Chains A and B, each alone.
Chain A
């Protein structure tokens, strides 16, 4: 009942189920500024979509959801465009570099092991720190109003600051409320791009904490700017995947889109009502959940000892 055939995935799916799934993941991206691929790809695989098609069609879907979400966040003044552009340029450069780094690691052997370990430790570390930090914030019960919540943490170490201030291309990022060198977001963008390419994930999970803790941007601007940045990354991925691998299933993407564009709007509205620390603790829980799931997958004996090549 209510099934539709996906010509590229080579399977049929329940329309209602996919609409619901799109809506849920769109909601998450509107709230937290993450693409949601970490959740969507494995779920689609559970419904019998090949992993490569699931990942590529999901990135097509994220284009729609992040357009919708960016628009909504822009109206709330939550998108720092110059910051987003610098991160984006860095991200794309880093992504290209990351692909080469993987090749190098693979040639050295044991790369997959290193990648998996780094990923789990990083997710666990970032998630754990965010969780603890926002818990402290919530305990203090600062009634910090959302829109003008400043940088979450006070001044970094003085030495570091003076070094950063001496960097060229100082620029005042209006929405983020900070004056830093443009090289900083560019550098972090490259870092995240490399990591994302190595881990094989979109990077939202790494980008958001980087913006919160290293660039010290207000949480709500982080969400909006992250969505803005994800939009362009996914446009690039979708076209590349469709062009060279033929893995974008348009029908699947449209079904997901219908749900996720609406979900992103609702998510933005939800995000607006939450305090920065509440947002952070929820995102931290999500990151820890993903980390636990990955760890379980690595530690438990698989029921089937082979996998079709092309998945993670």
Chain B
């Protein structure tokens, strides 16, 4: 009997200890799992070749099974000079005032899973979060309005976008799950340095982050032409004219030879 009681007592102790450890573990979980979030790109460099027409890139990784993932692609920041349209003389729509959005990314794309528990803004992702970090010159201009219109312009060009339902999850395994998505790289996404950021979130808080750099660069003929145009611009202009004149003359000769005095 005594032995049994002793065993039971030991068992209780063990159970209590285990529960305690589990409790501590749960409390510490966000911190330890944050390190477990990761992001992988199929390639970290995209080469623009002569017949390049944009491409796609697979991104994948693992996150805690009960968390959601958001992926954000953003590109070189620069000051964007814009003309705001307005009515002139009461009835003509024209480019009226000059404004400048400062430190605005040339490319901004967000990818989300189908269902998201919290709004993007709260997580510091999306257009609202972006515009909060952008200044406008002159300051008197209506930043919200100008930025919203700028977003329309960029979405039309395919370099801004929020893609809902683009992230899919794999099955959960040992408290983790895989995620994957296809990043769209439109041809208008110019050569430059970009950042792909993934974040894991649970109940409206970000619990983990992972970043990967992505480089797009010119190679071959496009690189040669761009270099010539920027580094030897006068020569380039003259060359362009000479080739155009030569092409015009050659076609002119061909037509004379072929068609006779038409």
Residues of A near any B CB (own CB < 8 A): 3-8, 10-12, 48, 60-61, 63-69, 71-72, 75, 110, 112-113, 116-117, 235, 238-244, 246, 248, 250-251, 253-254, 257-258, 261-262, 264-265, 269, 272, 297-310
Contact = CB atoms under 8 A, between A and B. Distances in A.
B89 interface: yes
Nearest to B82: A306
7 pairs of A and B residues whose beta carbons are closest in the complex = A67-B248, A242-B237, A3-B53, A71-B252, A261-B251, A64-B244, A7-B222
A238 B242 CA distance: 11
A305 B92 contact: no
A306 B148 CA distance: 9
B149 interface: yes
A102 to B, nearest CB: 15
Given A67-B248, A72-B252, A11 B88 contact: no
A228 B244 CA distance: 14
Contact of B92 (A64, A67, A68, A299): A299
A302 B93 contact: yes
B236 interface: yes
B164 interface: no
Interface stretch (B2-10, B43-51, B118-126): B43-51
B229 A8 contact: yes
Contacts of B243: 250, 254
B71 interface: no
A234 B237 CA distance: 11
Is the contact region of chain A dominated by helix, strand, or loop, or is it mixed? helix
Contact of B237 (A112, A238, A269, A299): A238
B52 A257 contact: no
B248 A65 contact: yes
Contacts of A110: 88
A71 B153 CA distance: 43
Interface in B182-197: 187-188, 190-191
Interface in B138-163: 145-146, 149-150, 152-153, 156-157
B247 A248 contact: no
A11 B186 CA distance: 9
B81 interface: yes
Contacts of B230: 246
B188 A306 contact: no
B255 interface: yes
B223 interface: yes
A187 to B, nearest CB: 28
A298 B94 contact: yes
A300 B93 contact: yes
Contacts of B77: none
Given A3-B51, A7-B222, 8 more contacts: A10-B188, A10-B190, A63-B245, A243-B233, A246-B233, A261-B251, A298-B94, A301-B93
Given A112-B94, A298-B92, A240 B237 contact: yes
Given A10-B188, A113-B94, A242-B233, A250 B240 contact: yes
B238 interface: yes
Given A8-B226, A113-B89, A116-B92, A261 B53 contact: no
Interface in B212-235: 218, 221-223, 225-226, 228-230, 233-234
Contact of B255 (A4, A11, A244, A265): A265
A117 B48 CA distance: 44
Contacts of A61: 244
A310 B81 CA distance: 9
Contacts of A60: 240-241, 244
20 contacts: A3-B51, A5-B49, A6-B222, A68-B249, A71-B248, A112-B94, A238-B237, A239-B238, A242-B233, A242-B234, A243-B237, A257-B247, A265-B259, A299-B92, A303-B152, A304-B153, A305-B84, A305-B149, A306-B146, A307-B85
